[in-house]
Amino acid sequence: MKKILTFLAVLLFSALALLVTTNSATAQPSQQTIREISGLQTRPNLPVRSIILRHDFPDHPLGGPPGKERLPKPGKGCDKDVDLTGTIAGVVNIAAQDNTICTNADLDTYIRGSDTFVVQAGGDDAAWTHTDVTDPANPTIVGQFVWSGGAGKNTYTPDVKTFSQGDNDYIVMGLERRTLNAFCGVIIVNVNDPGNPVIESQFIGSGWCDTHNVFVEDDASGDGQYIYATADAPNDMRVLDISGIQGGSVGAPVEIGRYTSPTASNANYVHDVTVIDHGGATGRRAYLSYWDNGLVILEAADVTPGTSPTPVVAPNQLDPAGFLTHHAWANQTGDRVFIQDEFLNSFGDEPVQMWDVSNPASPTYVDGLALGTDVPVNPAHNLEIRFDIDPNRLYVGWYKLGLQAWDFTISGFDHSANPAPRTAVQYHQVQTETNDGDYSGAWGVRLENIGTNLYIFQSDRNFGLIIDCVGCAPPPPSPTPTPTPEPEGTGGVKGKVTNASTGKNLNDVSVKIVETGQSDSTNKGGRYSIGDVPEGDVTVEASMEGFVTQSQEATVTAGQTTTLNFSLVPVE
């Protein structure tokens, strides 16, 4: 019955999707940094689980079927504590920016003119956060944007990527629904003016709406040409041609290709996709992290355009036992590939593995990063290699362990950079409290050269943006403060002054500490009391007209009062 209802709902959706049009709108500035973006199309109110049901357990820490879990309101109820001092190797922390929200997701960077920007998807709490990092030590939020209305509040934005076409810069986001009334699909936004973005187009494909991950492939000139998007309901990957978006004009993406595993299901779906042009005989390849089907590798030329091409590495061919393939990246030549599972978090597990795919018909295991041996026990997340910066270093956004980076050769990882349990050549753990959630910390990392230094941007899920530098001089040590002399201990002197001839009490006798000048006069009862007298030996003097002045030695003890009585002799 469930399958029949799902099939009918998808048929209905396919028909109604043809009626969906796209709109564009400029964000209207408000008095706050946060702005609303309006003009997005919502989907017809079909049963959510009929369209977006991915599987029966969370696919990521925010996960579960739409509407089953809502995270705290922006900035409330989440742990904002980060450690910017300890557990750092190979980098220097430059800055940390609290994005005020609780669900910062994936991130990307782009350069416009002389300015550099970081964009971070906002998960449940925002569409994205846009930060100017031209001066990395002083990041500035240009704007934090939210999807408008009730639909926007139920929209989950897990991913953002950047691309350019000519003189124009864009971001593309994948949207998923948490409830029926929510936005979805692929959204393309012109960010030439980062503070006033313009929605170029929205794409809702026939038979699919919700998108968890997007990847942009450039053409030979560096312009964005294709968007690869995970299609949640059919559990496959779709390719969109975006070459029509030129010169800032609105051009709707066109779906031109797809790949669906023969065993695609709610347990076998494309989580993330990466596309790399290896050049030479290997050429362009698409790496589909097909969850319980393992890693599927396609010739990108076969899927742009094309439908269900024959994979280079087929489903279940590169699929370690008990491994749920969440993200993948390949080395520059394409003969090695790295896969990652975000749920492996027990001692001895290898959530990041390297495989030899030089013979695609027979992938073989090469090496892995073992929890408790190469890295403390925590779940991993997204991978990154920048071939133009360091083609032999794998970066990992590793949740509670933050930034992690390993050097590698075709033979495996360099496990000697640091002593176990963390053999990474670079790392910066930000979430260090034992009570932090397993999935707190880094969603991903991105690299960018700014000036003469390399900067690594870490999207911390609860906190915001962490910025580390490779090559920066470490901050000067805090000057050792001049110790403030401890105040000397003080005590007191008190007593009674009488007339030596009569034994009566004397009033208005001046009693003085000779060394400090502190003094008191006796009252009608002949008593005096002097406090706050520095500890040590003092001379106490009692004097009054008509009487012989008298002095006595006393030792003042800190915290105590010394009693010293006087008996003055009248002058004859």
Q: For 353-392, how does the pLDDT look when each residue is reduced to its tens digit (9 = 90+)?
A: 999 999 999 999 999 999 999 999 999 999 999 999 999 9
Residue ranges in 374-488 assigned as alpha helix (H): none
The predicted pLDDT at position 59 comes to: 31
**pLDDT tens string 127-142:** 999 999 999 999 999 9
pLDDT of res. 251 = 62
Taking the C-alpha atoms of residue 226 and residue 255, their distance in angstroms, rounded to an integer, is: 9
Question: In the chain, pLDDT over 90 holds for what percent of residues?
Answer: 60
Fold category of 2-470 in CATH: Methylamine Dehydrogenase; Chain H (2.130.10)
Identify the pLDDT of residue 56.
28
Average pLDDT over residues 48-52: 25
Q: Are both 2-470 and 490-568 of the same fold?
A: no
Residue 22 has pLDDT above 70, yes or no: no
Given a cut of 70, is residue 30 above it in pLDDT? no
d(CA 95, CA 82): 12
Lowest mean pLDDT among 170-174, 200-204, 229-233, 429-433: 200-204
Q: Which residue has the tokens 């996709």?
A: 273
d(CA 481, CA 485) in angstroms, rounded, equals 12
- Separation of alpha carbons 468 and 462, rounded Å: 18
Domain ranges (residues) in the chain: 2-470, 490-568
Question: Any idea how long the chain is?
Answer: 572
**Would you say 456 and 384 are in contact if contact means Cβ atoms under 8 Å apart?**
no
Q: Per mean pLDDT, which range of 171-185, 221-235, 445-459, 473-487 is the poorest? A: 473-487
Name the nearest CA neighbour of 160 among 141, 142, 184, 187: 187
CATH of the domain spanning 490-568, picked from 3.80.30.20, 2.60.40.1120, 3.60.9.10, 3.40.1190.20: 2.60.40.1120
Residue with more model confidence, 34 or 346: 346
Binned at pLDDT 50, 70 and 90, residue 205 comes out as confident
- Residues of 545-563 as b/e, b for ≥16 C-beta within 10 angstroms? eebeebeeebebeeeebbe
Confidence of residue 62 (pLDDT cuts 50, 70, 90): very low
pLDDT in tens, 504-537: 899 999 999 998 899 999 888 899 999 889 999 9
- At residue 76, the pLDDT reads 54
> Which of these ranges, 317-326, 404-413, 480-489, 495-504, has the smallest mean pLDDT?
480-489
Q: Judge whether residue 77 has pLDDT over 80.
A: no
pLDDT of amino acid 478: 66
- The confidence score (pLDDT) of residue 484 equals 59
